[in-house]
C-alpha cells in the first residue's frame, strides 16, 4: 500500500488551482494603484496651479536640471545601488532640515508678532527658578517629608509667577508687597537685548538635547563641549544672520535653534556612530550646492523663473481684495496659534483621561459605557462639534465669537476622543510583563506609571496626538460654526482676538472672492501651503513611530 502511494508521487504531486487567488491579488493591486494615481494627479494639478512651473524660461529649467536634478538623481541612484543606509541617512538629514525650516518659520512668527521676547523670557525665568527649587527639594527627599516638599514647591511657583500676595491677594484688594520674578524682569531698568533673551531661552532649549545626545554617544565632557558650541552657534547666528543673509536677529536665532542645530547634531552624531552610512551625507550637500549653483547661474544668465503663487509675498502678506496682493500670513499664524491652543488643551486632558481609563478605572458597566461613547464621539461630524462649541463657549460661557480661545477649545473637543483612543492604545501596548515586574518590586501604581508605563508609552501618545492635531488643522466647518472671520486683514495677537485659519481662508477665497484669479491661483497656493504644513507635522509623527517600533 505504502509503496504504491510512493510510486504514484513519481508522476508529480498534482496541481492546486490558484486562479481565484491570482485574480483577487491583481484586483487588489488595481485598487491600490487607482487610489494612489488619483491622489497623485490631484496633487500635481494643484501644485501646477500654485507654482506654475511652465511659466519659467526653458533655460531656467535646463539650468536647474543640469545643476540640481541630474546630480541629485545620480548621487541618489548611486547610493541606492551601493549603500541604502547611506541614502536613508542623506534623505533623513535633508528632511530634518526642511521640516526644521518650516517649524522655525512658525516659531519666528510667534516671536515677531504675538509674544514679545521679553515676556517669554520673563516667564521662562519665572518658571525655571521654582523648577530649580523643586529639583533641589527632590534631592533632599529623604530629609523632608513629601507634604512639606510639595507645599514649598507650590509656594516657590506661586511666588515666582505671581509674587506676594499675588492673584489671591488682588481678589481681596491687598496691595502687592513682593513683586513676582516675572514682573521683576518685565519692569527691570535694563534687560538684555531681545536676541540674547531668545538665545538664553530657545537657544538653551535647543542646546540641551544636543549636549545630551553628544554625551550619550561619547562622554560627559564631549556633551558639555557640544552644548556650549551649540549655544555659541545660536548666539553667533544673531550677529551673522542680519549681517550676511539679511535676516533679522530674532528669526536668525530661531532658525539656528530649530533648524540648524538639530540638523548639525544629527549629521555630526551619525558621522561618528554610523561610519558605513556616512557617505550618504553627500546627497544633501549635492542638493544644496546644486540649488545654490542653479540660482546663481540663472541670475547671471537672466532666465526668468516660474511665476509661482506660493512665494514670499504670498506667505507674508495679509488678505487683500485683489488676488495678486492677497496673502496667507494671518491665516498661517492663526493656524499656528490654534494648534498651540488645541495642543495645550487636548493633550493633558486626553492623556489624563486615557491614563485614568487604562490604569485606574474599574472594569464595570460605567467604564464600558464610557468606552463605547468615546469611540462614538470620534465619529461625530465636525460640524456638530462646531455647534457644540458655539452653544457651550459662546452662548453659555459668554465668550465672543471666533476667538482663538473658542476656536481652539472647539477643535480640542473635536480631537479629544481621538487623542484618548490613541493614547489608550499606546498605554495598552506597554507589555504587562513590565508592569508585573514593577509591581513585583514593590512599586506603587503611581511609581509604575511614572517609571515604566509613561516613558514607554510616550512616543506612541505623542504620535497619536500629532496625527490628531493634523486633523484639527484641516478643519473648516467648526470654525465657521463658531463664527471665525472668513478673512483676516491683521494679525491675531491675543487669546481673545479673532482668528482665521488656513483652510477657512482658502474656503473663503473659493466662495466669497471667487474671481478667476482667486479661484485658479490663490486657492491652489493656499492648499499647497496647508498640505506642506500637514506633511511636516505628520513626518514628525512618522519618524517618532518608526523609532518607537524599532525599540519594541
Partner 1 sequence: MSQENMSNDNVESPTEDPTDDDMLLETDVTSGLEEGTQGSRTTHERTIVEAKDVNVWYNQDQALRDITMQVPENKVTAMIGPSGCGKSTFLRCINRMNDMIDAARVEGELYLGEKNVYDDDVDPVALRRRVGMVFQKPNPFPKSIYDNVAYGLNIQDIGGDHDAIVEESLKRAALWDEVKDQLDESGLDLSGGQQQRLCIARAIAPDPEVILMDEPASALDPVATSKIEDLIDELAEDYTVIIVTHNMQQAARISDKTAVFLTGGELVEFGDTKKIFENPDNERVEDYITGKFG
The footprint of partner 1 (CB under 8 A) covers 141-142, 363, 431, 433-434, 436-444, 447, 451-452, 455-456, 551
Q: Which is nearer to partner 1, 173 or 433 (CB)?
A: 433
Residues forming beta bridges with residue 178, ordered by sequence position? 164
Considering the complex, what minimum distance in angstroms separates the CB of residue 426 from partner 1? 14
Considering the complex, what minimum distance in angstroms separates the CB of residue 137 from partner 1? 14
**Smallest Cα–Cα separation from 258: which of 276, 228, 237?**
237
Q: Which is nearer to partner 1, 211 or 258 (CB)?
A: 211
CA distance 501 to 519: 18
Considering the complex, what minimum distance in angstroms separates the CB of residue 273 from partner 1? 14
Q: Which is nearer to partner 1, 41 or 441 (CB)?
A: 441
Q: What is the DSSP letter of 178?
A: B
Q: Which is nearer to partner 1, 235 or 457 (CB)?
A: 457
Q: Which is nearer to partner 1, 18 or 220 (CB)?
A: 220
Q: Which is nearer to partner 1, 430 or 529 (CB)?
A: 430
Q: Which is nearer to partner 1, 452 or 536 (CB)?
A: 452
Considering the complex, what minimum distance in angstroms separates the CB of residue 513 from partner 1? 54
CA distance 273 to 263: 15
Considering the complex, what minimum distance in angstroms separates the CB of residue 440 from partner 1? 4
Considering the complex, what minimum distance in angstroms separates the CB of residue 229 from partner 1? 23
Nearest-Å Rg of the Cα atoms of the chain is: 28
For 486, list phi and psi in degrees, rounded to 5: -65, -40
| b/e code 277-295 from CB counts within 10 Å (16+ = b) | bbbbbbbbebbeebeebbe
**Smallest Cα–Cα separation from 252: which of 289, 205, 317, 199?**
199
User: CA geometry: angle at 239 spanning 238 and 244, to 5°?
Assistant: 110
Helix or strand (DSSP H, E) at 70: helix 70-82
Dihedral sign (CA 449, 455, 460, 463): positive
For 319, list phi and psi in degrees, rounded to 5: -65, 150
Considering the complex, what minimum distance in angstroms separates the CB of residue 444 from partner 1? 5
Considering the complex, what minimum distance in angstroms separates the CB of residue 544 from partner 1? 16
Considering the complex, what minimum distance in angstroms separates the CB of residue 363 from partner 1? 7
Q: Which is nearer to partner 1, 4 or 433 (CB)?
A: 433
Considering the complex, what minimum distance in angstroms separates the CB of residue 146 from partner 1? 10
Considering the complex, what minimum distance in angstroms separates the CB of residue 364 from partner 1? 10
CA distance 157 to 150: 11
Helices (H) and strands (E) counted in the chain, each on its own, are 27, 0
Considering the complex, what minimum distance in angstroms separates the CB of residue 433 from partner 1? 4
**Smallest Cα–Cα separation from 488: which of 408, 413, 404?**
404
What is the per-residue DSSP string for 104-159?
HHHHHHIIIIIS-HHHHHHHHHHHHHHHHHHHHHHHTTTTS-HHHHHHHHHHHHHH
Q: Which is nearer to partner 1, 302 or 442 (CB)?
A: 442
CA distance 35 to 73: 27
Q: Which is nearer to partner 1, 273 or 400 (CB)?
A: 273
**What angle do helix axes 382-389 and 404-428 make, rounded to 10 degrees?**
130
What is the per-residue DSSP string for 376-441?
HHHTS-HHHHHHHHIIIIIIIT-PPTTBHHHHHHHHHHHHHHHHHHHHHHHHHTS-HHHHHHHHHT
Q: Which is nearer to partner 1, 214 or 411 (CB)?
A: 214
CB neighbour list of residue 21: distance below 8 Å, 6 or more residues apart: none
CB neighbour list of residue 276: distance below 8 Å, 6 or more residues apart: 83, 85, 86
CA distance 97 to 284: 10
Q: Which is nearer to partner 1, 15 or 364 (CB)?
A: 364
For the chain, the maximum distance between any two Cα atoms, rounded to a whole number of angstroms, is 107
Amino acid at each position: 500500500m505504502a509503496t504504491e502511494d510512493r510510486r504514484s508521487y513519481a508522476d508529480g504531486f498534482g496541481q492546486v488551482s490558484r486562479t481565484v487567488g491570482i485574480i483577487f491579488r491583481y484586483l487588489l493591486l488595481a485598487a491600490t494603484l487607482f487610489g494612489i494615481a488619483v491622489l497623485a494627479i490631484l496633487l500635481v494639478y494643484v501644485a501646477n496651479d500654485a507654482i506654475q512651473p511652465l511659466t519659467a524660461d526653458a533655460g531656467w529649467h535646463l539650468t536647474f536640471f543640469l545643476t540640481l536634478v541630474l546630480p541629485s538623481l545620480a548621487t541618489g541612484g548611486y547610493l541606492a545601488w551601493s549603500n541604502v543606509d547611506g541614502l536613508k541617512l542623506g534623505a533623513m538629514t535633508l528632511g530634518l532640515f526642511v521640516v526644521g525650516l518650516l517649524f522655525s518659520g512658525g516659531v519666528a512668527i510667534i516671536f515677531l508678532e504675538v509674544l514679545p521676547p521679553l515676556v517669554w523670557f520673563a516667564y521662562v525665568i519665572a518658571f525655571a527658578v521654582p523648577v530649580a527649587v523643586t529639583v533641589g527639594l527632590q534631592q533632599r527627599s529623604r530629609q523632608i517629608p513629601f507634604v512639606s516638599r510639595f507645599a514649598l514647591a507650590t509656594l516657590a511657583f506661586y511666588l515666582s509667577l505671581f509674587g506676594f500676595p499675588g492673584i489671591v491677594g488682588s481678589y481681596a484688594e491687598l496691595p502687592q508687597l513682593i513683586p513676582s520674578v516675572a514682573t521683576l524682569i518685565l519692569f527691570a531698568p535694563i534687560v538684555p537685548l531681545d536676541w540674547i533673551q531668545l538665545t538664553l531661552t530657545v537657544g538653551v532649549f535647543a542646546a540641551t538635547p544636543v549636549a545630551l545626545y553628544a554625551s550619550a554617544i561619547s562622554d560627559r565632557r564631549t556633551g558639555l563641549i557640544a552644548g556650549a558650541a551649540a549655544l555659541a552657534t545660536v548666539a553667533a547666528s544673531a550677529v551673522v544672520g542680519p549681517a550676511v543673509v539679511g535676516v533679522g536677529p530674532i528669526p536668525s536665532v530661531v532658525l539656528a535653534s530649530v533648524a540648524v542645530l538639530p540638523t548639525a547634531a544629527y549629521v555630526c552624531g551619525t558621522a561618528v556612530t554610523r561610519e558605513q552610512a556616512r557617505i550618504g551625507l553627500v546627497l544633501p550637500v549635492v542638493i544644496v550646492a546644486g540649488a545654490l549653483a542653479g540660482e546663481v547661474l540663472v541670475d547671471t544668465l537672466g532666465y526668468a523663473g516660474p511665476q509661482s503663487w506660493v512665494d514670499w509675498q504670498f506667505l507674508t502678506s495679509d488678505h487683500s481684495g485683489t488676488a495678486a496682493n492677497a496673502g496667507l500670513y494671518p491665516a498661517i499664524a492663526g493656524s499656528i496659534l490654534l494648534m498651540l491652543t488645541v495642543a495645550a488643551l487636548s493633550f493633558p486632558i486626553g492623556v489624563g483621561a486615557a491614563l485614568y481609563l487604562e490604569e485606574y478605572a474599574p472594569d464595570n458597566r460605567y467604564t464600558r459605557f464610557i468606552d463605547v461613547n468615546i469611540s462614538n464621539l470620534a465619529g461625530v461630524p465636525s460640524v456638530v462639534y462646531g455647534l457644540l462649541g458655539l452653544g457651550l463657549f459662546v452662548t453659555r460661557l459668554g465668550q465672543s465669537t471666533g476667538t482663538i480661545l473658542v476656536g481652539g477649545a472647539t477643535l480640542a473637543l473635536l480631537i479629544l476622543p481621538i487623542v484618548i483612543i490613541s493614547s489608550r492604545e499606546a498605554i495598552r501596548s506597554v507589555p504587562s510583563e513590565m508592569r508585573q515586574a514593577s509591581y513585583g518590586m514593590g512599586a506603587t501604581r503611581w511609581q509604575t506609571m511614572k517609571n515604566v508605563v509613561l516613558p514607554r508609552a510616550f512616543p506612541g501618545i505623542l504620535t497619536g496626538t500629532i496625527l490628531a492635531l493634523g486633523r484639527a488643522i484641516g478643519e473648516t466647518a467648526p470654525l465657521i460654526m463658531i463664527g471665525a472671520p472668513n478673512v483676516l486683514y491683521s494679525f491675531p495677537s491675543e487669546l481673545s482676538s479673532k482668528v482665521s485659519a488656513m483652510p477657512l481662508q482658502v474656503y473663503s477665497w473659493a466662495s466669497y472672492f471667487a474671481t478667476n484669479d482667486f479661484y485658479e491661483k490663490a486657492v491652489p497656493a493656499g492648499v499647497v501651503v496647508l498640505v506642506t504644513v500637514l506633511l511636516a507635522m505628520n513626518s514628525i509623527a512618522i519618524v517618532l513611530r518608526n523609532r518607537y517600533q524599532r525599540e519594541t
